[in-house]
Amino acid sequence: MKMRAFILFMLIISMGCASTPRKPAVPPAPIFYPPLPQRPRLEFLHSISGENDLGKKQSAFQEFIFGKRRDRLLGKPYDVAACKGKIYIMDRMYKKIVIIDLIGKKMSFLNDHGNGSLGDPAGIWVSEEIKYVADMQRKQVVAFDKNDHFLRTYGSKEIFEKPVDVAVDGKRIYVVDMDKEQLFILDRDTGQVMKVIGEKGMFFKPSHVTVGPSGNVFVTDDLHFVIKKFSPDGKFLNAIGFHGDQIGGFARPKGAAVDKNGRLYVVDAAFENVQIFDDQGRILLFFGGPGSNPGSLYLPAGIAIDDNNTAYFQKFATQDFKLDYLVYVTNTFGKNMLNVYGFGHWIGTSLPGG
């Protein structure tokens, strides 16, 4: 009897020990795409879902006095854009723009009151620190200045039916209208419509627009399951991808972004990955994939490429991987809301493939 009680006691003690969370002795293995020993091009760096992920620390004393601080969390991030020190999230749960302040380690709503108040925002773009938001309810693009104050609007309900995304390059503003199934080019200064692209049947439910370094425009033509490429003045050039579940195909294409070398990144919500194409439309790589592991994607939607905050995120990268630029991808579900990846170069010992 005594022995049995002793064994039971030891068992419970050992169970207790086993369930105690411990810090891993070794850091988790880096997540590279493609994995080593191939030459890695991207590394998963970090997920941001709330203020706690920005490294904001609460001291033991503060916790004792004020209680445990509740984390401010993203709701349903759909689109993303960035400038120096800040990431802007278009959050479909709050129907607001959430500003992630990397330096101040905090999150706040963009104050969109009065003339700038947002109704049903869908897409966001940042150009020269001006924030442009496509709003489906206002049927307008609403612009906010460098200090996040309301600046002006573009378009009206006479022009747009359902503006879902916006991209800006120099003096040109590109707006995709999902219901009119057209791409609009507006003048940034006058606000005038310069051109409308999309004769009947050209697009079906276009959902996203982005601009590359040479000014070419890329429209996600959702239910044609391709990305359509246009010259800066709206001349159709070619289509990338096809409908299907094979590598290089699309099933639910969403956000797209182009890096400074003209490589096209496309999010697919069905494959829950991002595919990278070269400027000739050949597939280079895909990354992400379904699940809840670090680096995985959960019904992803938006993507942005950021050259401004690379130094900030270098601390999350492996020592042997030198970051060139950042890739943000939003997850509309799952525990990891904004995934941050770094495109870079392996600077460690030479790899088998060279």
Partner 1 sequence: MMTWKYKISAAAIILIFLSASITSAETSMAPLLSAETAAGSSVPAGTIVGSPHDFRGYLWNRSGEICTPCHAPHKTQILPAPLWDQGLSTQTYIMYGKTRPPTMEAAVTSQPDGMSKICLSCHDGIMAPDAYGGNTGGAAHLFDKDFMGIVQGNNHPISFIYDTALSTRDGDLYDPSTKPSGLTGSTRTVKEDMLFSNRMECASCHDVHNVKAVPGTQLLVKDSAGSALCLTCHNK
Show contacts with partner 1 in window 301-320 (CB under 8 A): 301
The least CB distance from residue 300 to partner 1, in Å, is: 10
**Stretch of residues binding partner 1 (CB under 8 A), selected from 23-31, 54-62, 140-148, 242-250:** 242-250
**Stretch of residues binding partner 1 (CB under 8 A), selected from 38-46, 111-119, 144-152, 305-313:** 38-46
Q: Applying CB under 8 A, which of residues 146, 149, 171, 243 lies at the interface with partner 1?
A: 243
| 342: helix, strand or coil | strand
The least CB distance from residue 224 to partner 1, in Å, is: 5
Q: Which residues contact 83 (CB under 8 A, 6 or more apart)?
A: 126, 129, 308
Decide if residue 351 touches partner 1 (CB under 8 A).
no
Nearest CA to 130 out of 113, 143, 121 is that of: 143
Nearest CA to 315 out of 115, 49, 102 is that of: 102
Show contacts with partner 1 in window 187-206 (CB under 8 A): 200-201, 204-205
What does the block give as tokens for 136?
Answer: 């489906």
**Rounded to whole angstroms, how far apart are CA atoms 249 and 242?**
5
The least CB distance from residue 335 to partner 1, in Å, is: 7
**Rounded to whole angstroms, how far apart are CA atoms 58 and 40?**
36
Show contacts with partner 1 in window 57-76 (CB under 8 A): 70-76
Show contacts with partner 1 in window 317-336 (CB under 8 A): 332-335
| C-alpha distances out from residue 54 to 6, 43, 48, 49, 128, Å | 47, 19, 7, 9, 24
Show contacts with partner 1 in window 94-153 (CB under 8 A): 94-96, 98, 107, 109, 122, 136
Decide if residue 248 touches partner 1 (CB under 8 A).
yes
**Stretch of residues binding partner 1 (CB under 8 A), selected from 111-119, 221-229, 232-240, 319-327:** 221-229
Nearer to partner 1, 122 or 126 (CB): 122
The least CB distance from residue 216 to partner 1, in Å, is: 21
Nearer to partner 1, 15 or 146 (CB): 15
**Rounded to whole angstroms, how far apart are CA atoms 77 and 80?**
8
Nearest CA to 299 out of 276, 340, 267, 257 is that of: 267
What does the block give as tokens for 33?
Answer: 């795409």
Which DSSP string do the residues of 56-81 spell out, in sequence order? Answer: ----HHHHHHH-SPPPPB---EEEEE
**Rounded to whole angstroms, how far apart are CA atoms 249 and 262?**
19
Decide if residue 246 touches partner 1 (CB under 8 A).
yes
Decide if residue 289 touches partner 1 (CB under 8 A).
yes
Q: Applying CB under 8 A, which of residues 44, 88, 125, 250 lies at the interface with partner 1?
A: 250
Q: Applying CB under 8 A, which of residues 256, 269, 329, 338 lies at the interface with partner 1?
A: 269
Q: Applying CB under 8 A, which of residues 290, 308, 316, 320 lies at the interface with partner 1?
A: 290
Nearer to partner 1, 172 or 331 (CB): 331
Which DSSP string do the residues of 22-43 spell out, in sequence order? Answer: ---SSPPPP-EESPTTS---EE
The least CB distance from residue 193 to partner 1, in Å, is: 22
Q: Applying CB under 8 A, which of residues 29, 103, 270, 351 lies at the interface with partner 1?
A: 270
Decide if residue 169 touches partner 1 (CB under 8 A).
no
Decide if residue 9 touches partner 1 (CB under 8 A).
yes
Residues 247, 251, 252, CA angle at the centre, nearest 5°?
Answer: 125
Which DSSP string do the residues of 250-305 spell out, in sequence order? Answer: BSSEEEEEE-TT--EEEEETTTTEEEEE-TTS-EEEEEE-BSSSTT-BSSEEEEEE
By CB under 8 A, how many residues form the interface with partner 1? 83
Q: Applying CB under 8 A, which of residues 149, 260, 282, 345 lies at the interface with partner 1?
A: 282
The least CB distance from residue 282 to partner 1, in Å, is: 6
